Amino acid sequence: MEKHGIITKVSGPLIVAKGMASVQVYDVVRVSEKRLIGEVLELRGDLASIQVYEETAGIGPGEPVYFTNEPLSVELGPGLLEGIFDGIERPLDKIFDQAGAQIPLGIDLPRLNREKIWKFEATKKAGDKVSGGTVVGTVRENETVLHKIMVPPTLNGTLKSIQSLEGNVDAVIAVLVDDKGIEHNLTMKQNWPVRRKRPYTRKLPPTQPMVTGQRVIDTLFPIAIGGIAAIPGPFGSGKTVVQHQLAKWADADIIVYIGCGERGNEMTDVLLEFPELQDPRTGSSLMKRTVLIANTSNMPVAAREASIYTGITIAEYFRDMGYKVAIMADSTSRWAEALREMSSRLEEIPGEEGYPAYLGSRISEFYERAGMVETLGKEIGAITAIGAVSPPGGDTSEPVSQATLRIVKVFWGLSASLAYRRHFPAIDWLKSYSLYYDDMLKFFDKTVNPGWSKQVHYVNALLQEEAQLNEIVRLVGVDALSADDRLKLLTAQLVREDYLHQNAFDSVDTYASPKKQYLLLSAIVEFNRLAQKALQENKAYKDIENLPVRERIGRFKYVEESKVEQEISGIMTEMQDQFDHLERA
């Protein structure tokens, strides 16, 4: 008879079973005759606490718990892209096809599609020495992505045979003989336990920005390729829109998007919207280079807890091929709540606001799996991780925000009041920061224009000054300000309205290349320079404020990329001309 333990207690998604001495923490078990999927969280003697990834209603003490003696793992191989999976990599699209919206219990579908036939093309030959991470061949997964088939990280030896062939992911494409003379069949897929990070040769310092085309991000708070960022913000402040914009526009080869739905139907929206998104790189669907992991609100919390590990493991797998991967988690607060619920059912001593004491270490374990690395196969690969955080009431003093802020290097703080004023993206320039700022500015100096960083430093300082000047205005009114200070306020207004504000839903404004960003900012800086000069020459502030060229600067963001240089020289000429014709006061 199959080895099993016996359930002694059921508490929602958590069950306790006895007779479990031979299992290990993080082993997968199958619960009851329904064979619900569970994972061992804790062992005490022969008692195991198990989190169950499916609805446990109707399960009770005395029922069996079957062992698999395998840790919770994902299948990695062709078929991940364009896929929509749940938190433990069950193919949601397949399940929906077979069973409708309600996921049947204990369903045993293969993670990767077995019907699909792939064309494997060998790039190594028999006799070649290979080790973990060596690319032995490729599969053209779709028109966007070339999937590289690698030796699993734990194997090395000599290829006894290898052949190009057509088959499903289980087809044996090569035989590897290890140092001990043991033969291993290599297939197009490999398995990896989600809670263990995939190895690499070494971590590299992030040196290059991940261009996003979002002006406030690239200019003021840039993120590096391989960097880590958090987007905290209250409900409705634009976290999801920012994440979608990054998925669409960020300089990444592969997108892994983990949705932990905030509202009841939000995940359904993602499932409907994502396949509609067009990939600006190729013109076809963005899904071609996307893996979507979805937790709908009718799924048990435990699956939500696993989803970020499933997501980051998939991201690591594509990184190992030498790709730039961007992973988004929306929202990590929902994930942390799942952790809290499991912890309280485990009757652990609660920490702050009921979260377990290990909240911080779990959050950092996730983000630390990001980074730019030299892979085992000697390629450069990167994972850039961006997590949304939704603190209740938008107050970032709560534990999830605090633990996240201690680890991330970029903080894009969304502000309710900016969102209320319809200033989008509502990234608050006074409280956001990027620790990559200096390095990224140097990179833009080299690649876009040597004047980039000077301009950005100036604008940054101006926005700080604006906040102070606004304080004075509040106390004594705008008339008390000198013309110089009023000009500062005016320039800051141009920066906010014409530069930082960016409409995600406008077909042109949705993305601005670094060059376009530079040109627009240089027009605003030039306006300020000419205006300062005019004030010194005793020209009236009111006339400067009313110059018609301001409107043309304001329209610049809607100018198509191919016309920006022509338009900017038009603006510069017109501006000079209008300043030249200002009357003395």
Contact residues for ligand ADP, defined by CB under 6 A:
233, 235-241, 424-425, 503-505
Longest Cα separation, the chain: 99
Nearest CB to ligand ADP, comparing residues 424 and 437: 424
| SS3 assignment, position 204 | strand
What is the C-alpha separation between 329 and 312, in angstroms, rounded?
10
Closer to ligand ADP at the Cβ: 47 or 504? 504
Our CB check for ligand ADP shows the closer of 225 and 426 to be 426
Token pair, residue 201, equals 């040769």
| 105 vs 241, beta carbon nearer ligand ADP | 241
Considering the complex, what minimum distance in angstroms separates the CB of residue 467 from ligand ADP?
22
Number of residues that bind Mg ion (CB under 5 A): 3
CB of 244 to ligand ADP, least distance (A): 8
Residue 84 burial class via C-beta count within 10 angstroms: exposed 0-12, middle 13-18, buried 19 and up = buried
Q: How far is the CB of 386 from ligand ADP (least distance, A)?
A: 13
Q: Of 70-78, 93-101, 183-191, 240-248, which part binds Mg ion (CB under 5 A)?
A: 240-248
Q: Would you say 178 or 506 has its CB closer to ligand ADP?
A: 506
Q: How far is the CB of 337 from ligand ADP (least distance, A)?
A: 16
Pick from ligand ADP, Mg ion, none: which does 235 bind, CB < 5 to 8 A by kind?
ligand ADP
| Closest approach of ligand ADP to the CB of residue 272, in Å | 14
For residue 330, what are the contacts with CB-CB under 8 A and spacing of at least 6? Answer: 239, 240, 243, 257, 258, 259, 260, 262, 387, 388
* Alpha-helical segments (H) within 192-328: 215, 239-249, 266-273, 301-320
Q: Is 301 helix (H, G, I), strand (E, B) or coil?
A: helix
Asked if residue 73 lies in contact with residue 79, where contact means CB atoms within 8 angstroms, the answer is no
153 vs 425 by CB, closer to ligand ADP: 425
Residue 91 or 391: which CB sits closer to ligand ADP?
Answer: 391
CB 155 within 8 A of CB 192: no
- Nearest distance from residue 206's CB to Mg ion, in Å? 27
Q: How far is the CB of 304 from Mg ion (least distance, A)?
A: 15
Least distance in angstroms from the C-beta of 198 to ligand ADP = 30
Q: List, as one string, the DSSP characters of 70-96.
A: EESEEEESTT-TT-EE-TT--BHHHHH
- Residue 504 interacts, among Mg ion, ligand ADP, none and using kind-specific CB cut-offs from 5 to 8 Å, with ligand ADP
Select the binding partner of residue 241 from ligand ADP, Mg ion, none (C-beta < 5 to 8 A, by kind). Answer: ligand ADP
Our CA dihedral for 273, 276, 277, 283, rounded to 10 degrees, sits at: 180
Residue 268 binding: pick among ligand ADP, Mg ion, none (C-beta 5-8 Å cut-off by kind) = none
Q: Is the peptide bond before 164 cis (omega within 30 degrees of 0)?
A: no
d(CA 333, CA 337): 6
Residue 237 binding Mg ion, by CB under 5 A: no
User: Smallest distance from the beta carbon of 238 to ligand ADP, in angstroms?
Assistant: 3
Per partner kind, with CB cut-offs from 5 to 8 A, the member of ligand ADP, Mg ion, none near residue 233 is ligand ADP
Question: Do 232 and 242 form a contact (C-beta atoms < 8 A)?
Answer: no
CB 453 within 8 A of CB 437: no
Residue list 317-376, contact with Mg ion (CB under 5 A):
none
Min dist. Cβ of residue 502 to Mg ion (A): 18
Nearer residue to Mg ion within complex by CB, 144 or 332: 332
CA nearest neighbour of 233 among 95, 305, 333: 333
Closer to ligand ADP by CB, 43 or 504: give it: 504
CA distances from 245 to 249, 274, 408, 494 (A): 6, 11, 20, 23
Lay out the site mask for Mg ion across 510-549 (x = CB under 5 A, - = otherwise).
----------------------------------------
How many whole angstroms separate alpha carbon 85 and alpha carbon 301?
15
Nearest approach, Cβ of residue 243 and ligand ADP (Å): 8
Q: Which of positions 95-124 make contact with Mg ion (CB under 5 A)?
A: none
Q: Which 3-state string (H, E, C) describes 471-501? A: HHHHHHCHHHCCHHHHHHHHHHHHHHHHHHC
Cβ neighbours of 327 (radius 10 Å) = 30
Nearer to Mg ion, 89 or 398 (CB): 398
For residues 175 and 160, the answer to whether their CB atoms sit within 8 Å is yes
Contacts of residue 226, defined as CB under 8 A and 6 or more positions apart, other chains included, come to 204, 206, 370, 371, 372, 373, 382, 383, 384
Select the binding partner of residue 503 from Mg ion, ligand ADP, none (C-beta < 5 to 8 A, by kind): ligand ADP
172-178 and 157-162: which strand pairing?
Answer: antiparallel
In 3D, which of 448, 423, 318, 338 has the Cα closest to residue 52? 338
- The angle subtended at Cα 426 by Cα 420 and Cα 430, nearest 5°, is 110
User: Considering only 10-18, 154-162, 177-185, 232-240, which stretch makes contact with Mg ion by CB under 5 A?
Assistant: 232-240
Shortest Cβ distance from residue 330 to ligand ADP (Å)? 7
- In the bound state with ligand ADP, the residue whose beta carbon lies nearer, of 237 and 375, is 237
Binding mask 257-296 for Mg ion (x = CB under 5 A): -----x----------------------------------
Tell me which DSSP letter residue 521 carries.
H
Q: Which residue, 63 or 262, is less far from Mg ion as judged by CB?
A: 262
**CA 303 to CA 300: how far, in whole Å?**
6
- 344 vs 503, beta carbon nearer ligand ADP: 503
Nearest CA to 151 among 317, 289, 369, 382?
A: 317
Sole binder of Mg ion in the list 212, 240, 245, 296 (CB under 5 A): 240
Instruction: Name the site residues for Mg ion (rule: CB under 5 A).
Output: 239-240, 262
